A and B are shown apart, each in its own frame.
Chain A
């Protein structure tokens, strides 16, 4: 009986310690860097939604450590909790994202722009050009792979701004 009470007390204390710790850090520290610019350095945000090659995922405080290669897609930054305004959106060409154990997330990209800077007409024309280059290139050649990369990037850009390409 005594040991059971002690056990319950320890469990309660442990729960309290855990919840107060969780309450203390609800923010993610974001470092977002491009070769020529530091977009965010140690910014405190609520969530970062990352386009990983193996799927899109969101990082909030106390996320498990994780490393992911990025695919061309939209990186979303939620400065405040859900309902606290529109997320800030960047289109990224690729790169890497690293989430550390202490809620620090690093995003490194070769290039990133705001969605407003994407030209819908250019996306469509580049996609068509890449599509015909892909069709005329020899199967398995470097030219074909390059055309496929172009197709994928333009398709992802189209998707981000609401232009459907196929």
Chain B
């Protein structure tokens, strides 16, 4: 049986989202102003985490790694 048809980026362990975000990010890097600033603003994001106890939300701490956030 022939091996399944796939892409080089999937073989290297990237998911489709990782691939397409990399492509979009590369594209944003090669834009002229003011399109660049506008596009780059779409790329930045961050997550906060907080623990609720007794119906009260605890302090928010920024998540630095998605791997660590799941623990």
Contacts and interface: CB of A to CB of B under 8 A. Distances in A.
Nearest to A130: B26
Interface string A22-51: 000000000000011000000000000000
Q: For the complex, would chain B's binding face be called helix, strand, loop or mixed by DSSP majority?
A: helix
Interface string B2-35: 0000001101111000011111101111111001
Contact of A149 (B13, B19, B35): B19
Interface residues of A, number: 32
The size bracket of the interface on B is 20 to 34
Interface string B25-56: 01111111001100100100000000000000
B20 A110 contact: yes
A148 interface: yes
Interface string A78-116: 000000000000010111000000000000001101101
A146 to B, nearest CB: 6
A149 B23 CA distance: 6
Interface string A113-152: 1101111001100100010000000001110111011101
Nearest to A123: B30
A52 interface: no
Contacts of A72: 23, 27
Contacts of A130: 26
B26 A150 contact: yes
A139 to B, nearest CB: 10
Identify which of B12, B27, B31, B35 gathers the most chain A CB atoms within 10 Å of its CB: B27
Contacts of A111: 24, 27-28, 39, 42
A122 B30 contact: yes
Interface of A: 35-36, 72, 91, 93-95, 110-111, 113-114, 116-119, 122-123, 126, 130, 140-142, 144-146, 148-150, 152-154, 157
Interface of B: 8-9, 11-14, 19-24, 26-32, 35-36, 39, 42
Leading 3 A-B pairs by shortest Cβ distance: A145-B12, A117-B35, A110-B24
